Structure 1
Amino acid sequence: MACTAESVAAALRAAAGAVVAHRDELVRLDREIGDGDHGENLKRGFDALVSKLDAGVPASPSAVLRLAATTLISTVGGAAGPLYGTAFLRASTAVGDVAVLDGPGAAAALRSALDGVVARGKAEVGDKTMVDALTPAVVAAASVAAGGGGVAEVLEAAAEAAEQGAASTVPLVARKGRASYLGERSAGHLDPGARSTVLLLRALAGAAR
């Protein structure tokens, strides 16, 4: 299955729904090792994005992703706004001016999203951040795309790998962000950014199906 601008917009609406459904969970996770605002901040940003999509869907997949980027950057507080905003902005650039997004295009968008997050947050695998979920997601997506997988298959593989990557953050000691202030006490907790990465990828994959 390939994705048009309308399909990408529908996927982002599904992502917004996932954020709303898991808002309290994300707040709880962030309260354990952060300042507790991750769920509410993301909800505010995706609510704003849905409102903009309701007003009109941009003409291309790239433009839809760019709208997501600018909206999240301007409405999501904390670290999540710049990180997710940069991710969507880099993904938009990677997609280019195609009218229909295919499997390799989706994998390339995820790769660029990860590169943007790493450039913005200066984090690497093992730092107990969303990078721990997004990195294996990108590897899995590239593998499936190289084998001829479509958008749905690419995103399914990415979501599965992200879930495993997120789980790997539980025993880690945080080396980035507010959680790093806790030192050894940050171990034993799931990173909220890694968890929200999983939720978004699962929602996007479900919409692509």
Structure 2
Amino acid sequence: IKTMGGASGIIFGTMFLGGISSLGHQEYATAPQIADYFWNGEQAIERRGKARPGQKTMLDALYPACVEMKKAVLETSNIIEVLKRGYQAAVQGVADCRNFQSGIGRSRNFKEKTLGIPDPGAVSVSLWFQAFCLSVDK
């Protein structure tokens, strides 16, 4: 939050710190704790930024990833599977937000010029989930 330039440091930090209470103090996290961690982080971003999914922001990848992970933990306790499903939903969110017109943040000034272009924050979120999947699935 203090060292990364621009708004992304604050937003990314909000996500990662926003869900920390979901993890507890044990050595390993469970699949439901991981899903709750990301869900609570996503909710913290919505509160802080007064943004919602559908406004062409990182939430357009993060929200569907969180929803999918919450669904996944009802079917499996496998953290890798939960993260993979979150990643797939984030990638779909990136694809979907290409069709949105920016309405919030710095890109709102470009309105229709943003059509056809994915939100950079949403792309970043999909890369987070890809990295989580690759690092946990070893």
Fold in common (TM above 0.5)? yes
Please state how far the C-alpha of 1:96 moved relative to its aligned partner: 2.0
Deviations 1:86-105 (A, max 9, x none): 11101212212222101111
> Corresponding residue for 1:148?
76
AA aligned to 1:80 is: S
TM-score, reference length from structure 2? 0.95
Please state how far the C-alpha of 1:137 moved relative to its aligned partner: 0.3
1:104, 1:150 within 8 Å by CA — same for their partners in 2?
Answer: no
Deviations 1:138-160 (A, max 9, x none): 11101111112321111111000
| 1:161 aligned residue (77, 89, 94) | 89
| 1:95 aligned residue (23, 27, 31) | 23
Deviations 1:85-129 (A, max 9, x none): 011101212212222101111101111111111112111111000
* Structure possessing the higher radius of gyration over alpha carbons: 1
Aligned to 1:199, the other structure's residue is in SS state: helix
Higher helix residue share: 1
TM-score, reference length from structure 1? 0.63
Aligned to 1:79, the other structure's residue is in SS state: helix
Distance in 1, matches of 2:54 and 2:94, equals: 11
> Corresponding residue for 1:134?
62
Q: State whether structure 2 residue 102 is matched by structure 1 residue 180.
A: no
Distance in 2, matches of 1:177 and 1:77, equals: 15
Distance in 2, matches of 1:94 and 1:117, equals: 16
Distance in 2, matches of 1:160 and 1:198, equals: 8
Distance in 2, matches of 1:186 and 1:140, equals: 26
> Corresponding residue for 2:8?
80
AA aligned to 1:117 is: I
| 1:118 aligned residue (15, 21, 46) | 46
Identity of counterpart residues, as a percentage? 34
AA aligned to 1:201 is: F
Q: Kindly tell me the number of residue pairs found equivalent between the two proteins.
A: 137
Distance in 2, matches of 1:146 and 1:98, equals: 22
Distance in 2, matches of 1:185 and 1:144, equals: 36
2:58, 2:119 within 8 Å by CA — same for their partners in 1?
Answer: yes
Query: Root-mean-square deviation (CA), in Å?
Result: 1.0
2:76, 2:82 within 8 Å by CA — same for their partners in 1?
Answer: no
Hey, which bits of structure 1, 4+ residues long, moved more than 2 A? Answer: none
Unaligned runs of 5+ residues in structure 1 are 1-72
